């Protein structure tokens, strides 16, 4: 059982968060704080497995608390509670740089429905964090008996085994298999069943994409430039941290546009783009509906919208933002982005898949491979916070290259011939 500190200045919110967490048998709230200074003192004295941390606090804000602990090399596993207000979103993106592992958006209205959604998102974030490679085991600070350590080690190992079982079950449901197998029937019924599952998954994806394609057509503005190649990237859990490493390594004169889907709520992608633009030589911005994609620019799909890549009569690519329903419970969804590229005129599309929970992107790339020449780069397991999305791509036989995070930019530049 993971021991948790909840930090929020609202007594009502503390009670709501504690009730949500304590309803899950994997977690237990053992302490609460109403301000950042009190939380700091408790974290220095007590080894918490997780800290659920509100961003807006008296005495020390959530960001100031994380910055202070970071300077003191004090490791904590923090899940942030944030609002979608711009100032809060900006602080949340900076907090991710100080080691926060995930964040959940605080409901604006306190209705039963919004509380239920918030509760599901919070528990999902906590479970994802404990399974991630970035999760730091708590170092006991004195007074812990060998027997207690043994029990805790046993619980941790059991949790790890169960996490592996859940991951394998999830992968089985998603139908992850080899995309290039043409002789399923000759390899036995198990492979044939896997092929059937993959086909069913692809059909389901296509149905979902068709449901999201009813949005009004976008008319591009300005003038566009046709490029022979295009880069499309997908990431999720651990993505903000990975992007803070990857994007600054891209050259300012990148010869093609790069578009990306990062699973993130509405209101946060603009802050992410602004922060990345500050620390990078290459230009980074949140994509706008109808704008042409230009070489040497990274475009981040706005949270709460799907991105589709369209072309005008001269075959110059532009952005269409789609406000259709979530696809596979995701909005934005990388599969939507990859699917839209199937009708493009690019000579080659470089697909990049970084850290993330689940398998978003794999079926979109599999579909895209039927129509276009692709080159797929996936992040190597040991450098991922969560090895889900890259694993689905690699185990699906879709990866042309598997590289550590710090080598991804170099692989892209080499593939572009630069």
Annotated catalytic sites, by residue? Answer: 236, 263, 360
Helix (H) or strand (E) holding 403: strand 401-403
Residues 6+ apart with CB under 8 A from 308: 319, 320, 321, 322, 336, 337, 340
Query: What DSSP designation does 182 have?
Result: -
CB atoms near residue 207 (< 10 Å): 10
In terms of Cα–Cα distance, which of 409, 417, 389, 412 is closest to 400? 412
DSSP annotation of 161: H
Closest CA to 68 of 89, 49, 41: 41
Identify the CA nearest to 307 among candidates 270, 332, 282. Answer: 332
Q: Token pair for residue 123?
A: 């528990």
What number of helices (H) and strands (E) belong to the chain? Answer: 13, 14
Task: Decide if 240 contacts 386 (C-beta within 8 A).
Answer: no
On the 0-12 / 13-18 / 19+ scale of CB atoms within 10 A, 47 is: middle
Scanning the structure block, which residue is given the tokens 């990859």? Answer: 338
Helix (H) or strand (E) holding 216: none
d(CA 140, CA 1): 15
- Please give the Cα distance from 332 to 299 (Å, whole number): 13
Q: For residue 122, which of 6, 272, 241, 244 has the smallest C-alpha distance?
A: 6
């Amino acid at each position: 059982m993971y021991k948790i500190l909840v930090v929020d200045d609202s007594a009502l919110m503390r009670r709501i968060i504690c009730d949500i967490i304590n309803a899950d048998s994997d977690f237990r709230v053992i302490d609460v704080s109403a301000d950042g200074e009190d939380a700091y003192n408790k974290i220095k004295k007590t080894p918490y497995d997780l800290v659920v941390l509100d961003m807006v606090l008296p005495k020390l804000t959530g960001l100031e608390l994380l910055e202070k602990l970071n300077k003191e090399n004090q490791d904590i596993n923090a899940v942030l509670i944030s609002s979608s207000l711009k100032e809060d979103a900006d602080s949340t993106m900076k907090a991710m740089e100080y080691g926060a592992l995930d964040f959940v958006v605080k409901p604006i209205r306190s209705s039963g429905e919004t509380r239920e959604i918030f509760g599901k998102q919070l528990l999902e974030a906590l479970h994802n964090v404990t399974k991630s490679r970035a999760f730091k085991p708590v170092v006991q600070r004195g007074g812990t008996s060998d027997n207690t350590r043994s029990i805790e080690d046993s619980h941790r190992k059991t949790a790890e085994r169960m996490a592996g079982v859940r991951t394998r079950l999830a992968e089985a449901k998603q139908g992850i298999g080899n995309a290039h197998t043409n002789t399923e029937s000759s390899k036995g019924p198990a492979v044939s069943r896997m092929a059937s599952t993959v086909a069913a998954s692809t059909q389901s994806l296509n149905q979902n994409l068709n449901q999201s394609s009813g949005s009004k057509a976008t008319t591009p503005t300005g003038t566009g430039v046709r490029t022979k190649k295009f880069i499309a990237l997908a990431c999720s859990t651990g993505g903000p941290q990975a992007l803070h490493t990857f994007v600054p390594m891209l050259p300012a004169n990148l010869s093609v546009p790069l578009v990306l889907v990062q699973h993130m709520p509405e209101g946060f992608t603009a802050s992410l783009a602004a922060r990345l633009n500050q620390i990078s030589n290459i230009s980074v911005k949140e994509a706008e509906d109808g704008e042409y994609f230009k070489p040497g620019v990274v475009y981040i799909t706005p949270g709460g919208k799907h991105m589709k890549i369209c072309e005008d009569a001269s075959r110059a690519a532009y952005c269409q933002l789609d406000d259709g329903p979530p696809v596979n419970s995701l909005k934005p969804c990388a599969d939507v982005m990859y699917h839209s590229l199937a009708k493009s005129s690019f000579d080659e599309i470089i697909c990049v898949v970084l850290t993330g929970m689940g398998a978003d992107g794999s079926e979109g790339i599999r579909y895209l491979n039927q129509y276009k020449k692709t080159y797929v780069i996936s992040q190597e397991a040991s450098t991922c916070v969560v090895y889900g999305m890259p694993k689905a791509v690699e185990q699906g036989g879709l990866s042309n290259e598997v590289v550590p995070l710090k080598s991804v930019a170099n692989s892209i530049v080499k593939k572009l011939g630069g």
